[in-house]
A and B are shown apart, each in its own frame.
Chain A
Amino acid sequence: MAESGLLFEGSDWDFSVLDRSYVAIEAVARQDLELDLYANQIEIISSEQMLDAYSSVGMPLMYRHWSFGKHFIQNERAYKKGQQGLAYEIVINSNPCVSYCMEENSMPMQALVIAHAACGHNHFFKANHLFKQWTDPEGILDYLDYARGFVANCEERHGQREVERILDAAHALMGSGVFRHRRPPSLSLKAERARERERLAEEEKRVHYLWDSVTRGSRSTASDETEARERKRRMRLPEENIIFFIEHYSPVLEPWQREVLRIVRNIAQYFYPQKQTQIMNEGCACFVHYHILTLMHQRGQIDDGAMLEILHSHTNVLTQPDYDDRRFSGINPYALGFAMMQDIRRICEDPTDEDRHWFPDTAGCGDWRGVLKDAWANYRDESFIQQFLSPKVMRDFHMFALSDDATDPWFLVSGIHDEQGYRVVRDAMARTRDISIQEPEIEVADVDLLGDRVLQLRHIRRDGIPLDPAQRDATLAHVRALWGYAVRMQEN
């Protein structure tokens, strides 16, 4: 085997083969692609453990909550019925970068997974600006461990019901529990934990003071009003992060409840970049595994049989069904990301006149590694599409944009993959990946400090799209429980 240069033969694997293959794959990643990687920690798990990991949002440690049990049952059922296969891997944005490989995978699949997750995703987590700015991979596992302990402790002290009440409410608000524009006040989760104890006590005093002094006496005087105005100024209204606001200013919550909210908020914030970079993240991982494994195949380190198996799963994952296909469920982020990145390489190496016109800076520059790495580092889905979605990719996918106005009895094809339509389709595509458009924008508009303490939320409608009324009312009930007083929602 050593003479032939093959890393492995057949589909069986053991730890020495895994190790040897990893070293070879990492060498290509670092030397040929010049990727910047966290140290890898690769864990071999069974399929049951994979199901376990699924249901707690892919994290190895999570506090306990019934909804995770529900998701587990859902996944288990789908898996047992054969409706859904399990992912081959799960990778966690942490340092060291933890990735799970299933024991059922054959050796070619393990190689694929290592190249995909331990190199591709790993590099993306380390390089992309969103992850750098908004997440703390050093501290996340410790923090989750702390969170799990804290929640368990609360359950013991205050009862499972009570904790569940707070967690249910916090989960309902998770989508509105992130800072989208302003940076989170503290990034290091470790420091966060250390400060926790004294912070809790201090905070409590502040909130009580805030409410106490304002509600003293039933009539509001002019000086009260100026004071209230001053306080509101300090509350920095309007506030986009509803959980943050409630955690800090709710008149009824106890310190531990505020801390539970904070935990949920921190976890939501940690996952926020992943939501914004799905196409890029998967595209990067697919591009990297494809490049590395093809190169190794050319060098004779992987035999034809293994390569065929790898390509088989590769194409399975990257299938983009047509809109009228039963399997169609929107744009496949793997397919689009991979196609765009392959196309960037083509434009750098072998551009057409069209490419020169559309991408004057990169067409024919030859340095596709540099261009890609710059893209991976500095873009998110929306801006990446706006910048790099080329006419060729749109043609290959036969893309068309469809606009739907509730007042019209028809859909309008606003653009297709032709000269007039490229920009329309590209803009539309970029907008569908913009979280601030795709998710409802809700903020804390006002709070009545002097009167009945009503919390005023505002939904900023975009393109006239309303909220789902049943979901809205159920969520508002949760907000009311956390706030303790009436909550109103204003839609405009």
Chain B
Amino acid sequence: MAQFIDRRLNPKDKNLGNRRRFIDRVRNHVKSAVDEAVKRRDIANADREGRVSVPADSINEPAFRHARDGGRRERVLTGNKQFHGGDRLNKPPAGGAGGRGRKGSKDGDGEDDFVFILSREEFLDIFFEDLELPDLIKRTLKELAATRPHRAGLSVTGSPGNLNVERTLRNAMGRRLALHRPTDREIREIRGRIFELEAVALPSEAQRAELIELREALETRQRRQKLVPYLDPLDVRYNHFEQRPEPNANAVMFCLMDVSASMREREKDLAKRFFVLLHLFLMRRYEKVELVFIRHTHQANECDEETFFHSRETGGTVVSTALVEMKRIVDARYPAADWNIYAAQASDGDNYSGDSAGCAAMLEAELMPLCQYFAYVEIIDEEEAQFLTNDRTGTELWLAYRGVAEALPNFAMKRISGPGDIYPVFRELFSRDLAKATDG
């Protein structure tokens, strides 16, 4: 007796729980791999899956085992060709290639690192870890593309709510006609005639014959009506919907950063996280996001990502040059009618004195009308964060931008001293999106 069970449709990924525990176990290594990847990768590719390499000892499963060397052992081998009992064979020199290395591979890879691939989702989980994002936003960011149901013809299966009455009835009618289903009217007429004839007190021979004929006709028609139902499951049609990605317009994201000497590795790393997060958010909304990098000291220029993050410049700091450069690029390449323009600016707050008012004026008058959203972060030291708690005090640039932020809703600004502070800058951006998502 055997029972066959088809398990192919059972849920897969039975091992997900174990995998999660494994990743938890090597969290430190995974975390540093992710941090490393964020530093190394382009902003646009920051959320790819990635290789993580873990030193083998950290996930070693120890047990009492015999050492490889020492003592007397005996083994049996196969394929003897030239040996005789009592032969002595010289051992390979110690530390050599290890002979055939048979014993060595007993517990897997030996000293090699353990390498595995982190999926995009797992990668983002760890990336988000110290950004302190609310769960809902983590989830929406991880979705690859927003979809919306679109009509896609008809289907023979579906939920009652999607029943297409018109189609269903049309099919039913076609089938009834093709199969010659007697109509109710026909039957009603025959019934009427039978009734009339039955009412005749003394029917003639012809009338009697007609009556019999009519009764037979009625019976066959009624039988046929039963055989060919008015509505058959075959006729039923449902509206079919297909999940299609939302049609998205294009967006361009400007990354503006002060690259003068006061911006060190820590500041640049924080700035990068800030840019990555905005980029992730934009990727979710728009099919294509272009990135423009503008760095500035006392003069600004457009550059590629590599230069943006890694090359050092010397010079003063004039923030308005970056804004002018941005305006020039927008005018030249990204007409506001065709592009959604986002900008993210990171700086340590230094600016040439007297320039900040100009920046604010320029933002308000020229750039903000073009931009969907402008986010500014001022990266400060952790000690500074202790006393810079009041938004109303700060550098000249900060105060000038505050005026802009108060006047315009799509301008956000924040002081950050660690990765956990980044998210609040975007809070409004995300909350608008969420509100829209819950409405739709």
Residues of A within 8 A of B (CB): 15, 18-19, 22-23, 26, 39-46, 48-49, 51-52, 55-56, 64-70, 72-74, 77, 96, 100, 103, 118, 160, 164, 168, 171-176, 320-325, 328-331, 397-406, 409-418, 420-421, 424-425, 428-429, 431-432, 439-440, 442, 459, 461-472, 474-475, 478
Contacts and interface: CB of A to CB of B under 8 A. Distances in A.
Contact of B5 (A43, A51, A72, A328): A43
Q: Taking each of A52, A77, A323, which has the highest tally of chain B beta carbons within 10 Å of its own beta carbon?
A: A323
A233 to B, nearest CB: 27
A45 B76 contact: no
Contacts of B21: 64-66, 69, 160, 164
B102 to A, nearest CB: 7
Contacts of A402: 74-77, 89
B78 A398 contact: yes
Contacts of A168: 61
A475 B62 contact: yes
A413 B64 contact: no
What 10 pairs between A and B have smallest CB-CB spacing? A322-B79, A69-B22, A465-B71, A69-B18, A474-B62, A464-B71, A323-B77, A66-B21, A40-B2, A410-B88
Given A73-B114, A475-B64, 14 more contacts: A43-B7, A72-B15, A103-B8, A176-B64, A320-B78, A329-B102, A405-B71, A413-B85, A413-B89, A414-B86, A417-B80, A421-B85, A464-B71, A471-B65
A18 B116 CA distance: 38
Contacts of A415: 85
A166 to B, nearest CB: 14
Given A39-B1, A406-B69, A413 B62 contact: no
Contacts of A471: 62-65
Contact of A406 (B5, B70, B74, B100): B70
A412 B88 contact: yes
A440 B86 CA distance: 29
B7 A406 contact: no
B75 A428 contact: yes
B77 A66 contact: no
A463 B72 contact: yes
B428 to A, nearest CB: 36
A398 B80 contact: yes
Contacts of B87: 412-413
Given A44-B6, A46-B12, A463-B71, A55 B18 contact: yes
A52 B16 CA distance: 10
A52 B15 contact: yes
A397 B78 contact: yes
Contacts of A468: 65-68
Interface in B90-146: 90-91, 100, 102, 108, 114-116
Contact of B76 (A67, A401, A412): A401
Contacts of B7: 43-45, 49, 100
Contacts of B208: none
B239 to A, nearest CB: 33
A413 to B, nearest CB: 4
7 contacts: A18-B4, A66-B24, A410-B90, A410-B91, A440-B65, A462-B71, A474-B60
B5 A428 contact: no
Contacts of B333: none
B18 A68 contact: yes
Nearest to B99: A411
B84 interface: yes
B81 interface: yes
A73 B52 CA distance: 12
A64 to B, nearest CB: 5
Nearest to B84: A416
A42 B63 contact: no
Contacts of B13: 48, 52
A171 B77 contact: no
Contact of B72 (A321, A405, A409, A429): A405
Interface residues of B, number: 60
Given A66-B25, A432-B76, A424 B18 contact: no
B14 interface: yes
Contacts of A40: 1-3
B70 A464 contact: yes
Nearest to A404: B73
User: SS class of chain A's interface: helix, strand, loop or mixed?
Assistant: mixed
A403 B25 contact: no
Contact of A70 (B22, B63, B102): B22
Contacts of A64: 17-18, 21
B387 interface: no
B62 to A, nearest CB: 4
A325 B63 contact: no
A402 B60 CA distance: 31
Contact of A461 (B5, B6, B71, B85): B71
Nearest to B73: A404
A404 B90 contact: no
A425 B81 CA distance: 16
Interface in B184-240: none
A445 to B, nearest CB: 14
A56 B18 contact: yes
Contacts of A467: 64-67
A44 B8 contact: yes
B10 interface: yes
B2 A321 contact: no
B70 A401 contact: no
B107 to A, nearest CB: 9
Contacts of B261: none
A475 B75 CA distance: 27
A411 B8 contact: no
A328 B74 contact: no
A398 B12 contact: no
Interface string B12-37: 11110111111111000000000000
Contacts of A320: 78-79
A69 B73 contact: no
A463 B66 contact: no
B2 A42 contact: yes
Nearest to A469: B67
B102 A330 contact: yes
A317 B4 CA distance: 26
Contacts of B68: 468
Contact of A175 (B6, B64, B83, B85): B64
A66 B20 CA distance: 8
B66 to A, nearest CB: 5
A429 to B, nearest CB: 5
A66 B61 CA distance: 11
A111 to B, nearest CB: 13
B108 A74 contact: yes
A69 B20 contact: yes
A73 B62 CA distance: 19
Nearest to B105: A329
B59 interface: yes
A26 B2 contact: yes
Contact of B61 (A44, A171, A439): A171
B80 A410 contact: no
A472 B65 CA distance: 7
A418 B74 contact: no
Contacts of A42: 2-5
